Structure 1
Amino acid sequence: MLEMFREAIRSIFANKLRSFLSMLGIVIGVAAVIAVVSVAEGTRQAIKENIIAIGSNVIMITPGFAGGRAGQTAVALSDLLTKDDAKEIAASCPSLSYVTPVHQGNFTIQYGRQNTMATVLAVEPSFFKMLKLNLAEGEFFTDEENLAARRVAVIGSDVANNLFPEGDAIGKTIRISSQRIRQTYTVIGVLEKSGNLLFLNPDRSVIVPFASADQRLFPRRYVSSIIAQASSEQLAQQAVSEIDSVLYSKFLDENKYRIISQEAMLQTLNQTMQLLAFMLGSIAGISLLVGGIGIMNIMLVSVAERTKEIGIRKAIGATNLHILLQFLIESSTLTTTAGGIGIAVGILISRFIAKLGSLRTAVTPGVILIAVSISIAVGIFFGVFPARRASKLNPVEALRYE
């Protein structure tokens, strides 16, 4: 076996350029698989960390859908949850420590000649505690300011940078407007950068007291969602059950509302990112197929060139199995070497992507193991036909081959 491996190495180095070109497809395929899967894995880890950062006891309640049965079209509900539902949930669910209704909408935010688009979130002060938001400067609005419907606002870091590029946002009056609405609010706080949390992006948000925005900015009865927090992580599942009981007794249809806990979000995230990684990896894997076909073609050429050599080896006692193994080892060595180079190139590409943009990448041992396994499998799969063809050559005819 060792002698066969040495012979395979000698054969590969005897035609360096041809060997390099045949390996190139495998190198590109393995590198592409590692690069795209590392991006998907890095993104999954980043989102997972953001979800975990807010704690496993935060629960989000959103409208669901109606219909979808007996041929009916399912319709997403927006006019469903109210602030009274939030009050009822708070009163009826002993496992909860905080509950806030949430109005959410996109508005134009203006200060002087600067303006930007941002999401306005109308919430109660407990919102900051639930999402563990921190201040870069200023202060949060209080329960007293919320009850008094004070027009004060806490703005995200991106909004602050856009409206106040030179800093000093505290105490400034901003204008929140849409086609029909125009209201002024005083900035009392600027948030530290946090990234996406619970389907929200505080960095791109303006957060105002619920009572002050309930009719001024959102002249409608229904709220966008309700956010609650269980008293502890151990009570999170019990809290979900209590909320479900309250809402089902009102709507009598579990499809009309959605209760999203951290566990459910993580499960959905893992399923989605695994599917995405599989799709991206499959697309990149097409180049591995092309590379494998290239290996098979090169091996067929090698068999043709070495026909007389095969005849001599058979004449001095080499069996069909020896010839078959010789060419299989040669093709596997080619693809395994190419796979190793592809892994190194893929890691370099993933690091370059991470440095070049804002994407996070993560190369896991599992991805590398899969890449190596695929490389070996490609070598064996696409090497079988040429190797079998070589082993079946008639030694007399092979010796006469010119």
Structure 2
Amino acid sequence: MKIKLILVIILLSLLACQKIDKTNLNVKKFYPYTLKLNKNSSLWYDRNHDFLYEVSQNGDGLNINFQFYELKKDTITVNTKKIELPPFYKDIFTQKNDFIILHTEPRTLGKNLKSTDILTKYDENSRILLKKDMDISKYPNGNCFIVGNNERLFYISDWFAAANSKRAAESKLIISEIDTSFNILNQKLFKNKNRDFDYNPAKCIFIENIGIVIVSDMSYFEIKGLPFKIEMFDLDLNKKWSENFEANSIVSLGYSKTEKKISLVIEKEGTKVNFWDYEGKKQEKQYHFNSDLISLTSSDDNIFLLTKNQEKNDITKIDFSGKVIDKINLPKNIEINKKKEINLAYQENQLFLISIDNDKKLLEIDKITME
């Protein structure tokens, strides 16, 4: 009888701890989930790709554990990739069992002063398969992206030439389709004809069988009325349409397969949500929130925005048809401070609230009921 009692106590202790391993976790009333971080670790959330990654201090260097969290109704699955993250890391892309890291390598010494983008491919065991310099001159802090699917891969970057005595500064947007060895199959360059703006890609999405949508900051380092441009290209890299607009910053770029619409969330005198169809026709109805935006995520049908209005937090659901706008109740009041990162995530047809407090070394994940 004592042995059975001891086993029951041990089992209850294990369920209370809820420690993550690499297997599916099936625990009754699993959420809210809490994880205490190692004192030498910090967690960060990548909103563009919906994954958490852990940064661990190891001596004088940093070890990066990419934690791909798959959140389900009653389980969490974690796939960990341990790699040495290079400086000026820009983007990560998974393709079948491999994953690709894109970073910019600055060069400030020697005859070759240009900084260029580097693509590195890793296998499922985090071993380097291929590393290639894409040989495109740019600033280290310029944005660049890798988008596509298992069949087609695209590399998007800017190109910059500094002003000298003979010519003014010049910039270009470069879109390249590349093969699995990072060889360029097709490439198009788009430049500022009148040199009245500079390209700096801010957000990029790939729409399968349709094309690529890029939002660029057209001011680069100078303020010129906060100009931005949204452009759509087909898979042969021909421009289909574009539109200029003003914004303080770009929050999110997404799309709906069902509605065949593109969504853009910007900050300008509050939070604005705009929609375009694939042909570039802008939806007349726009959503404008005066409350502060904390986080957002989206499914194929809806955009979810977590906002703060005075002391109240709300999640607003907007469908891509533009006909419905609803409020969703939060599972608890959210404590918001500068040291705490709050994120919404939509995975496996379920909405989650992810809270990361690197000061207290604490991760919390709540499931949000959408009925």
TM-score range, shorter chain: under 0.3
Bigger Cα Rg? 1
Q: Which structure shows the higher helix fraction? A: 1
Q: TM-score, normalised on structure 1?
A: 0.23
Q: TM-score, normalised on structure 2?
A: 0.24
Greater RCO (CA < 8 Å, at least 6 residues apart): 1
Q: Which structure shows the higher strand fraction? A: 2
